[in-house]
Amino acid sequence: MESVVFKPLCKSPDIIFMGTPEFAVPSLRSLHQRGYHIKRVITQPDRPKGRGRRLTPSAVKIEAERLGLELIQPERLIEDLINDADLIIVVAFGRVIKKEFLIAPGYGIINVHPSLLPRYRGAAPIQWAIMNNEKETGISIIKMEEGLDSGPILYQKRVKIREDESAGELSKRLAEESASSLLEFLGQWQRGVIVGRIQDDSEATFAPKITKDMKKVDWNESARKVSSKIRALDPTPGATTLLNDVEIKLFRARLEKEGVSGTVPGRVKVERGRMFVDTIDGIVEIRELQYPGRKRIRASEFIKGYRISDGLILGSGKD
């Protein structure tokens, strides 16, 4: 297998940290707590969110301000923002970094990616790992290059995916694993040379951005596939189905049975405050639901509030 050698990292590198969502916060916080010199934090500009479309700061901005770090929110990157550091660390920045910036600092740019590369390159590796019923995922730290998550692998750690785990739950665990992995890797790099493993592009799989047109549940699919889809889209954008012509969201799915006959896709069974739904070959339990304009609630509350009864068919009505 091809490899490339990287010289040892200096003892006190000037670091620029680039990140945006909550996933990146543990890594930023850990670097600061460990005493690394964070010269600057770069995050995306405040964006309108919610029903009121109010400008909302990123999670990284909030943390950087709490830590008293220099913060920049550029609409576009320019060389002057990154050419005065020894190392740039990228954790879920959410924007493509152009080729001309990839060689700017002395030690280059490293990226912390939540998958076992070369599998699941792209924007949504956590969601697609759950969607595809993977048993494990992990953390990869790579040297960034022009291709999509295709740079040499400097460090990897495997992480088991728990049974019935949602994307949101797994993301929180991987965020913490990313932080500890980053510190471990930087320590190794400072102690000696790092040998990067060139990725085998023939083994690459991709994890494109999750779009709203993916969220509809098809009860004619297998119970395992339905369960994994609901968990992969939990908490956002949320898997959906129709309840009496109204689109509702489904969360916290659990595979109850598979490989059974006599099911009616979309048929509901209520049992002691729990809600079960038939698929083509099994049964899935839905433990939380959300009606439009309302909060996400437990199945027991939803059953009482919306008079859900045995025999109701989900997914029927307008398409």
What is the distance between the alpha carbons of residues 56 and 99, in angstroms, rounded to a whole number?
29
State whether 14 and 82 are in the same domain.
yes
- Please give the distance of CA 112 from its chain centroid, rounded to a whole number: 12
State whether 282 and 239 are in the same domain.
yes
Domain total in the chain: 2
Query: Quick check: 79 pLDDT over 50?
Result: yes
What domain range includes position 300? 212-305
State whether 58 and 125 are in the same domain.
yes
CATH number at residue 99: 3.40.50.170
Q: Using one digit for the tens of pLDDT, what is the confidence trace for 190-249?
A: 999 999 999 999 999 999 999 989 999 999 999 999 999 999 999 999 999 999 999 999
State whether 183 and 83 are in the same domain.
yes
37-66 b/e with 16+ CB inside 10 Å = b? ebbbbbbbeeeeeeeeeeeebbbbbebbee
State whether 129 and 45 are in the same domain.
yes
User: Whole-prediction pTM value?
Assistant: 0.94
State whether 283 and 167 are in the same domain.
no
State whether 172 and 249 are in the same domain.
no
The answer to whether 314 and 219 have CB atoms below 8 angstroms apart is: yes
Where is the domain boundary, 175, 203, 231? 203
Enclosing H/E stretch for 179: helix 167-191
- Please give the distance of CA 42 from its chain centroid, rounded to a whole number: 20
State whether 92 and 224 are in the same domain.
no
- Determine the 3-state secondary structure of 90 from DSSP: strand
What is the distance between the alpha carbons of residues 182 and 168, in angstroms, rounded to a whole number?
21
For residue 65, what pLDDT band results from cuts at 50, 70 and 90? Answer: very high
What is the distance between the alpha carbons of residues 21 and 310, in angstroms, rounded to a whole number?
41
Is there a domain that residue 239 lies in?
Answer: yes
